[in-house]
Structure 1
Amino acid sequence: MRDDFDYDDDFAYNDYDDEDEDDDFGMTFEEDLYLMIREKLRDTIQEYKTQYPALKKLESAVSSFKVNAKNTDDSKFYPLAAKLLSEHIKPLAQDSEEIQEIYDNMQTDIARFKNQRAHGYEGELYLTD
């Protein structure tokens, strides 16, 4: 006995455009990568700032970071913003092993701007216990 509903046949010819699946609502690769870096940085600070007091300095530095690069397209703006953010927090890496680890792991993700196929940093947070 055959069921009236055959999943493969009924949905094989739907209107869904597979190319839009990777579009992330119009975000470019560079924007998506930059936002991921910022999210990992923010989440790491929130997760560990009570455990490592030096991260409060990092939190202050990250929250005061601003980029002003008018008339720059996404392919140039986001890599520049990531590089400037990295340079902004680099001096703090001398103060703490944890910030140095965050900085190093962040560099792995930043390298993906030049090589999209690079693995990047695999963790959800830039610090691990």
Structure 2
Amino acid sequence: MRDDFDYDDDLSYNDFDEEEEDDDFGMTFEEDLYLMIREKLRDTVQEFKAQHPMLKKLENAISNFKVNAKNTDDSKFYPLAAKLLSEHIKPLTEESEEIEEIYNNMQTDIARFKNQRAHGHEGEFYLS
């Protein structure tokens, strides 16, 4: 089967438009960043909730979070959604040092909405 695939003929890298390569399947930077933040939160909760039962409250807060901002373009919607999610989980930081650490680490990623070149958080208690 491998003989049927000709790298030169089947993969013509010159056919790609440079703009399309950066497009990331139609996602804007803001959407991609917001989804990454949600994924980090989900993965962190899944990884550590057995060791830190308070993370179940965080899991519930995240799963109950909804944003209703109709007629808003991506460049405004996703930063707003991230900010609202942050505000939604902030009260839990008073109940748990772990949630406070996750919240603080999340703020580093949220700052990237303003400065796309900023380095996002990569850490142990907010998985990358």
**Residues 47-62 of structure 1: matches in 2 within 5 Å?**
47-62=47-62
1: CA distance between counterparts of 2:125 and 2:99? Answer: 12
Aligned residue pairs: how many? 119
Aligned to 1:68: 68
Deviation beyond 6 Å, 4+ runs, structure 1 = none
The amino acid that maps onto 2:73 is D
**Residues 31-50 of structure 1: matches in 2 within 5 Å?**
31-50=31-50
The structure whose Rg is larger is 1
Aligned to 1:23: 23
2: CA distance between counterparts of 1:124 and 1:113? Answer: 22
1: CA distance between counterparts of 2:73 and 2:12? Answer: 38
Q: Is the 8 A contact 2:65 2:85 kept in 1?
A: yes
Question: In angstroms, what is the RMSD of aligned CA positions?
Answer: 2.0
Q: Is the 8 A contact 2:101 2:125 kept in 1?
A: no
2: CA distance between counterparts of 1:13 and 1:87? Answer: 44
Deviation (angstroms), 1:122 = 2.2
Q: Identity, % of aligned pairs?
A: 83
Deviation (angstroms), 1:21 = 1.4
2: CA distance between counterparts of 1:32 and 1:124? Answer: 21
Cα 1:98/1:24, change in 2 over 3 Å: same
Q: Deviations over 1:68-119 (max 9, x none)?
A: 0000000000000000000000000011110000000000000000111111
- List gaps (5 residues or longer) in structure 2: 1-6
Cα 1:39/1:13, change in 2 over 3 Å: closer
- List gaps (5 residues or longer) in structure 1: 1-6
